[in-house]
Each structure stands twice: as C-alpha cells, then as structure tokens.
Amino acid sequence: MTILARTVEVTRRYGDVLALDRVSLDIRAGELVGLLGPNGAGKSTLINLFVGLRKQTSGTVELLGGSPQDPVVRRGIGVTPQETGLPESLRVGEIVDFVSAHYPKKADKGELLGRFGLDDLVKRQIGGLSGGQKRRLGVALAFAGNPRMVFLDEPTTGLDVEARRALWDGIKDFHEGGGTVLLTSHYLEEIEALAQRVVVVGHGRVLADDTVRAVRDMVGVRRVSLAAENLPELPGVLASERADGRINLVTTDPDRLVVELVRSGTPFSGLEIRPTSLEEAFLAITAKETEHV
C-alpha cells in the first residue's frame, strides 16, 4: 500500500530537551491511526513535523512523497488547530472561504458545514459560537480542501458526549471514503471508537505500535490502594508509591494481586481498586520502559 506519511530515524531537539528520539513510523493510505501518549511525550512535535510547522534535527520526514516544508505538498493534507483559537471577529463562512482559497479541490461550503452540523451558522461571527461549535468548525476546516490525509490533534477536547459522537461520524465517513487519518486524543475511548492502529509515544520514542486491542490490554492497568505497614513481593506491579500513609500500586492484574496479598497473610485495610487514568497508565508504562533501559 502507498505510504502517505513517514518518518525515518527522526530526532528533534529543543535545546537540551530531546522531544523525539530516532522515531521511525509509516502511515499508509486508508489507515486511521491513533497517536497516544502523555503530555510532553512528543505527539505534538511529531504532528508538527508532518504538517511542516517544524523541522527535524536529524532524520527524514516525508509527506505524500515530498517534503512537508513544500506548500504544494501540503495541498493534500488538512489540519485542525489544537486549541480553539479561531479569529473571533470573522464569520463562519468567511473563515471557510479563507482556508478553502488555499486548495485546488475545494469542498462545497454548504456541504462541509452541514457535515459537521454547522449549516445555520454561515453568517455567525466566530466569537458568538459556543465552545463545541468552534471545535467542530476547527475540525471542519481540516476537510476544506478535500485532503487525502488529515491530522486531527485532540479534535474533541471539551466537547459533550453527543457532539463528540457527531464528530466521530464525520471522521468515520471520511475514512470510509478512503481518507487517511492521524488522530491524537487524551480519550482512550475515542481512539477505541475510531482507530484501527494505535501508536503509543513516550519520552520521544515509539513504545507500542499495534492494533487497538493489543494496546488496550497493555494500558488496561488498575490502581490498587491500601493501608499497610509492609508489603510482600507481589506479582504484576508496574509501579508503587507511598502517600499519606497509604500504598498505591499500579498493576495490570488487580485480581491476582489481591489474591496473592490475602494469601500472604499481610495485615492491611481500606482496600480500593480503581481504573487509572490514561495519563497514569502511560506514566506507568513509560516508567517501566525506563527501568528496562
């Protein structure tokens, strides 16, 4: 299959900070790839390299067979702004016209706005839109030039569930029509709903690149919290810390951990098991990764 975007051994530094460390990644035509990782992991840097906002320190970045720095190459992609930073004084229709003017294959304005539920808002000033409407407009702009590939950085942050699902449908339609998508998100659920392939980055490296199922199992960790004096060696513990007289353990298998704990006869109290946030799960995985290095 054709490769639409690729990095080969790409490193990017900001002064002393290593944001990406020899990352090699291929994105093929028709894929819907989810990019996951905690803040500062290198997700945004990777996307910024693909869309031509930054240059790599070393290595190669290819987009649609050319360089992302070349404006002509970028006619084939669409990008959504990460934060809702649309110019407040412009009207919805005017901003779509402005963005469309850059592309030879413009999407029809009415159809584009309709696809993202913004039909009635063509004449509305952007400053007067709700947060969700701005967010949807931002995502719609990525599709204004009928791109072959879109880069969606946190497309649904701050949206309610219903608006999020409506946006997902728009992204799915594009993908079913043969479009390629690279998506970042804080919501594991969103990646699960949309992506087939998941790339996990941490500390500037690719930690996992697999199917959604495989990666979900990998990040499906739980936090086991309890009060105890001392703990014996327990199985499957990825990380542990002591805080406010309690011990917090991060584990992939809380059931087995509790069975072993009870079997060991260690006195404990106040047992709690709860899902970790995605952020915590990544911290655990990346911490484990560092230990092994």
Partner 1 sequence: MSSLILAHTRYLMLEQIRVPIGLVASSFFPAASMLAFVVPFTGDDPVASTRATGSMMMIGAMSAALMGLSITVAQDRELPWNPYVRTLPAGPFPRFAGRILTTMATMLVSTIPVVVIAALFTTATITVPKLLIGLLALLGGAVPFMLIGLFLGFVLASKAAIGVSQVVFFPIAILGGLFLPPQIMPDFVQKVSPFVPSRGAGELIWAVTTGTSPNMVAVIMLGVWTVIAALAAGWAYRRDEGRRFS
Applying CB under 8 A, which residues contact partner 1? 14, 40, 44-45, 48, 51-54, 71-75, 77, 79-87, 89-90, 94, 97-99, 101-103, 125, 141, 145
Smallest separation, CB 158 to partner 1 (Å): 13
Smallest separation, CB 225 to partner 1 (Å): 33
Nearer to partner 1, 145 or 155 (CB): 145
246, 225 Cβ separation under 8 angstroms? yes
Interatomic CA distance for residues 222 and 207, integer angstroms:
19
227, 246 Cβ separation under 8 angstroms? yes
Smallest separation, CB 84 to partner 1 (Å): 8
Nearer to partner 1, 58 or 240 (CB): 58
Smallest separation, CB 231 to partner 1 (Å): 39
Could you tell me the CA-to-CA distances from 260 to 168, 191, 199, 234 in Å, in that order? 42, 33, 33, 7
Interatomic CA distance for residues 68 and 45, integer angstroms:
14
Nearer to partner 1, 116 or 251 (CB): 116
Nearer to partner 1, 102 or 165 (CB): 102
The SS3 of residue 125 is: strand
Dihedral sign, Cα of residue 275, residue 283, residue 193, residue 198: negative
Nearer to partner 1, 118 or 249 (CB): 118
Question: How is residue 78 written in tokens?
Answer: 């669409």
Dihedral sign, Cα of residue 128, residue 133, residue 139, residue 142: negative
Nearer to partner 1, 23 or 250 (CB): 23
Smallest separation, CB 88 to partner 1 (Å): 9
Question: How is residue 66 written in tokens?
Answer: 């050319």
Smallest separation, CB 152 to partner 1 (Å): 12
